Amino acid sequence: MTMFHRNTVALCAGFVALASSNAHAATITSAPFGATQQGQPVVQYTLSNARGVSVSCMTYGGIVTRIDVPDRRGRRADVVLGFASLTDYERYNGNIHFGSLIGRYANRIAQGRFTIDGHTYQLPINDPPNTLHGGPHGFDEKVWTVVRTFQNAAGAGVQLRYVSPDNENGFPGALTVDVTYTLTDDNEVRIDYRAKTDKPTVVNLTNHSYFNLAGEGSGSVEDQLIMIAASSYTPMRADSIPTGETASVEGTPLDLRALTPIGARLRSSFPQLRYARGYDQNYKLNKSGQRDGEPSFAARAYDPSSGRVLDVYTTQPGLQFYTANGLDGSVTGASGSAYRQTDGFALEAEHFPDSPNRPSFPSTELRPGDEYHEITVWKFSVR
């Protein structure tokens, strides 16, 4: 599919597919990945194509455990942070969210409180004084059901389902969530999010993968380049809750409309960066020219050392750019390296934080009879 936003055409020169266009259809395999502390078996699925790209995800948390991508010389490396065992995911990932499916509500809700149809709902507080990523023991700590696996002309994929009961973590309505991961022969990882409810509720789903295009465990991403197709962002208070305003990125360290080294402005005294101890901002994506229901260009990341490129497309209105500010060396990743700040970055395509309390933001309400459907695509190439 052709999804390049017209503003990015000039940046495409020098970026090439990872291999010949004569690749065979993508395939899928599965293997056990242990059992949870409660004894629930967990399975890992690996989607692979003939161009050397593969993506693995597991039924625990719908977590993307690894993505292997060749560099400009054909050498493959895992480009997402993660753990070697299910035990470590259970022990640490509730706070870190490596590769996780996030729900019911990605990002923050102020004071864990919102109102629908005159009724106020109180959520548990897990990021005082707010609720973060759906509260404690969110979707990323649940064992999802495999609805189907498939191999067809579009690629190979797996569809996962979780049914969140009414009042789970304080959210109203029984919510049925389906997330489908698809790997195509065009080196695209497509994520389809769908949800239905039996009561009015709020929904905001995303994937929280941390990328390092030089390879997992290779160190800081500060020399890697980032571009975000956003002319504005939602300023936040010191507690990371939006003020409700939208501000221009012009003249600020948040202006990433051209490829910029991630570390170039990371230590700026700009208040927004000080609040978060790095980048952890919601960008309002430029959506001009987007066709209804089709993902549009949101961001590009590029690692000059390996040549790997990641382009992000999405139907979502916002993108949270996060430089792993919470990593402090206390956890060890899959390769045995201690993870520290800037050892990865996240590009969380989602709705805006605290939207249920901000009428001017795009709505996150979902009502019976309606379907939530959002798409995010990660497209890999080399330069």
Do the domain assignments include residue 260?
A: yes
**pLDDT (average), residues 47-68:** 97
How high is the pLDDT of residue 140?
A: 97
User: Whole-angstrom Cα distance, residue 103 to residue 372?
Assistant: 13
Tens digit of pLDDT for each residue in 257-303?
999 999 999 999 999 999 999 999 999 999 866 677 899 999 999 99
Does the residue 112 lie in any domain? yes
For residue range 126-185, what is the model confidence (pLDDT) as tens digits?
Answer: 999 999 999 999 999 999 999 999 999 889 999 999 999 999 999 999 999 999 999 999
Q: pLDDT at residue 71 above 60?
A: yes
Question: Which residues sit in the known binding site for beta-D-galactose?
Answer: 107-108, 208-210, 280
* Average pLDDT over every residue of 88-95: 95
Give the percent of the chain with pLDDT over 70. Answer: 93
Q: Which residues are catalytic?
A: 208, 348
Q: What is the pLDDT of residue 2?
A: 35
If pLDDT is split at 50, 70 and 90, which confidence band does 316 have?
A: very high
Q: Check which CATH number belongs to the domain holding 86 and give it.
A: 2.70.98.10
Residue 15: its pLDDT value, please? 52
For 154-171, the pLDDT digits (tens) are 899 999 999 999 999 999
The answer to whether residue 321 scores a pLDDT higher than 60 is yes
Which residues are part of a known binding site? 107-108, 208-210, 280
User: Is residue 11 one of the residues assigned to a domain?
Assistant: yes
pLDDT at 14: 55
CB 275 within 8 A of CB 268: no
359 burial level (CB within 10 Å; 0-12, 13-18, 19+): exposed
Does some domain include residue 119? yes
Average the pLDDT over 58-71 and give the result.
98
96-125 mean pLDDT: 98
pTM tops 0.85: yes
The answer as to whether 1 is a domain residue is: no
The average pLDDT across 346-362 equals 98
pLDDT, position 110:
98
Minimal CA–CA distance to 371: which of 218, 205, 134, 165? 205
- Whether 295 is in a domain gets the answer yes
| pLDDT tops 60 at residue 8 | no
Query: What pLDDT was estimated at residue 24?
Result: 60
Q: For residues 214-230, give the mean pLDDT.
A: 98
Percent of the chain scoring above 90 in pLDDT: 91
48 has a pLDDT exceeding 80: yes
What pLDDT band is residue 7 in, cutting at 50, 70 and 90? very low
The rounded distance, in Å, linking the Cα atoms of 93 and 86 is 10
Residue 244 has pLDDT above 80, yes or no: yes
Mean pLDDT of the chain: 93
Whether 37 has a pLDDT exceeding 60, the answer reads: yes
Confidence of residue 12 (pLDDT cuts 50, 70, 90): very low
- What is the domain range of residue 209? 6-382
In the chain, the number of structural domains is 1
Q: Is 177 part of any domain?
A: yes
